Structure 1
Amino acid sequence: MSEPGPDGRIPVLDIAPTLAGVPGAREALAEQVARTCEDTGFLVLAGHGIDPGLPAACFAAAAEFFALPDEVKLALKVGELNIGFLPTGAQVIRTSRIAENRKPNLNESFYIVRDRAPDDPDILAGKPFVGLNRWPPGIPGFRAATMTYFTAMEALAQKLLPVVTTALGMPPDYLAGDFTDPTCTLRLIRYQPQPEEEADRFGFAPHIDTNLITFLAQSALPGLEVRTREGEWLRPPAIPGTFVVNTAEMLGRYSNDRFAPTPHRVVNANNAMRYAIPFFFGPNNDAVIRPVPSCVSEANPARYEPLLYEDHRRKLNVTNFAHRQTQPAH
């Protein structure tokens, strides 16, 4: 079911038996997930059933968008909500607990969230962090390519949620109520080549993700690096057709730090543009995140107070994005 990565630290897991409902497959997979979550927090998924044409079309859509003139992209610039275009220089990861990041990331991004109609009840009610996607003009098929990929990745994430919950030592449906309307974001990214003279400049500075788990389709060029607990940086296995998956901050909270998220960064030393299409899967905005009972004991009391996920997202947005520095927190 699994193979180690080139260095033995990041496993390649075949999840096809679990998705097919083979008896005992989920429990066996959960054991492997638990082991890697207690180590690097990174794994590679094979046998996931996602049509390879879906990430390929999404990568193509990303390249087509970023090739647009700057004035077209800037017309779609993010506002109060992080939906749309984020130009280079607009994000500094100030909330990182593993590095003091002072310089903006060397990338430009385009954020896509759950697609809604203007008369969607959540839009009309003005719910926090709910807004309309900002679609670029003149790119036929962009919306379909990105949203088809978005929908497929959300479905895969939901199928893996019981595995993650089992890995925590809880019944497989224990966390289901926190993910009935999950916070999902597809971020298209184009990384510029890094200047050799700036050793402290990154495509994406060292950080941890702040959702539950992240899915990353394999990019054509290398760049992602993972920091081990010993402080070494390594690259996940680059196997075409697989997904790199990493744990994030909310899983660290649910697990009472048993599954602490692993720092990672992007170093684009390719002398060429590098594209990435990470899919972020997080709890409902109104979910209250607290350590699960299996990860709390008299000898290991809860390390976190209950946290409303909406409050968590609001703090991150205000702190890390330049366009929010002059706006009130809503």
Structure 2
Amino acid sequence: MSLADGRIPVLDIGPALAGAPGAAEDLAARIARTCADTGFLVLAGHGIDPALPAGCFDAAAQVFALPDDEKLALKVGEYNIGYLPTGAQVIRTSKVAEVKKPNLNESFYIIRDYPPDHPAVLEKRPFVAPNRWPPGLPAFRAAALAYFAAMEALAQRLLPVFTMALGMPPGYLAGDFRDPTCTLRLIRYQPQPDPEEGRFGFAPHIDTNFITFLAQSALPGLEVRTAEGEWLRPPAIPGTFVVNTAEMLGRYSNGRFTPTPHRVLNQNNAMRYAIPFFFGPDNDAVIRPVPSCVTADNPVRFEPLLYEDHRRQLNLRNFAHRQAQPAVG
């Protein structure tokens, strides 16, 4: 496995976020080139306080260190909120590999924080329910939500740039992201110093949202597959974020920006932690290819897709608990 050699570029987004003349257009052009290749990039100059991802990594270590009975009391239900034990996810919907074995990780899912009496909760809207907070970790909620808020804000600031990368005006997709679906997934990967065939910390897959933000982990493990079939590791630069395109951006682009397969192999002799933040459209958004990506040579390749339907199908197929006894939460 070689180094990325520029296939996964490091981009300073500071000038674009500061509104420097021409900076957003230049960044959009560089993002477009990368999205048409590996679909992975590394962002510097983002302005996120380093204490926020550090606090979230600490929170992840704390929640996974809880006794099993306390974690299982917070186990996910219908909407995948809370704790997911090791062995509970097999990526059957993977479009890049035949996956038969469960991932070697345990996870904790956090969504937008709805109180129990929120109208959306009382109306039982799809994918809306209160988070499941561990009662013995009072600082956990604050650390997770602070990081969640910072990442959602950064994603919204970058949405116009990714829209420009598609060749559309900056505000074109804003209507599909008025109430975006955001998920913070805390993950602990078990060590695999001698990986067995077909077993991964996270099996080869593509992300199914719009774009994903991944704070740099202390230990390596993430690998990205190029179109040539080579597996690369993104540049490991402390304080930066690895960002990858996902399936909905691919659909908006009419296949121009194909999401890149990636996997996790934790060949370290220690637990590995990750805190990916998934940014997706509104549940009621209907995803269609944008006009700039539809031509006579590349006619519309995707039918309109209600994002809520897309999420429901993924949950039904990839998680063991949904194939047993669904329960809200």
TM-score, normalisation: structure 1? 0.97
| 1:129 partner amino acid | F
- Per-residue CA deviation, residues 191-211 of structure 1 (Å, 9 max, x unaligned), is 001262512100000000000
- Larger mean CA deviation between 282-291 and 114-123 belongs to 114-123
Residue from 118, 121, 139 that aligns with 1:120 = 118
| 1:265 partner amino acid | R
Is residue 2:25 matched to residue 1:27? yes
| 2:54 partner amino acid | A
Offset, 1:324: 0.3
Offset, 1:214: 0.1
Residue of structure 1 in register with 2:43 after alignment: 45
SS in 2 for 1:60: helix
Q: Flag structure 1 segments of 5+ consecutive residues without an equivalent.
A: none
Residue of structure 2 in register with 1:203 after alignment: 201
| 2:317 partner amino acid | T
Query: Contact 1:318–1:329 at 8 Å: present in 2 too?
Result: no
SS in 2 for 1:39: coil
Shift >4 Å, 4+ stretches: 327-330
- Measured on the aligned residues, the alpha-carbon RMSD in Å equals 1.2
Residue from 2, 8, 15 that aligns with 1:10 = 8
Residue of structure 2 in register with 1:60 after alignment: 58
SS in 2 for 1:30: helix
Is residue 2:297 matched to residue 1:304? no
Query: Contact 2:195–2:267 at 8 Å: present in 1 too?
Result: no
Is residue 2:324 matched to residue 1:326? yes
- Per-residue CA deviation, residues 32-85 of structure 1 (Å, 9 max, x unaligned), is 000000000000000000000000000000001100000000000001110000
Query: Contact 2:77–2:326 at 8 Å: present in 1 too?
Result: no
- Per-residue CA deviation, residues 215-247 of structure 1 (Å, 9 max, x unaligned), is 000000000000000000000000000000000
| 2:189 partner amino acid | Y
Residue from 157, 162, 165 that aligns with 1:164 = 162
Q: Aligned pair count?
A: 326
Offset, 1:156: 0.1
SS in 2 for 1:245: strand
CA separation in 2, counterparts of 1:21 and 1:290?
Answer: 29
CA separation in 2, counterparts of 1:277 and 1:8?
Answer: 25
SS in 2 for 1:280: strand
Query: Contact 1:318–1:324 at 8 Å: present in 2 too?
Result: yes
SS in 2 for 1:141: helix
SS in 2 for 1:159: helix
SS in 2 for 1:253: helix
CA separation in 1, counterparts of 2:4 and 2:283?
Answer: 38
Residue from 143, 146, 155 that aligns with 1:145 = 143
Residue from 125, 132, 147 that aligns with 1:134 = 132
Offset, 1:126: 1.0
Residue of structure 1 in register with 2:101 after alignment: 103
Query: Contact 1:203–1:268 at 8 Å: present in 2 too?
Result: yes
Q: How does 1:152-191 map to 2 (within 5 A)?
A: 152-191=150-189
SS in 2 for 1:206: strand
- Change in Cα spacing, 1:178 to 1:329, as seen in structure 2 (3 Å) is farther
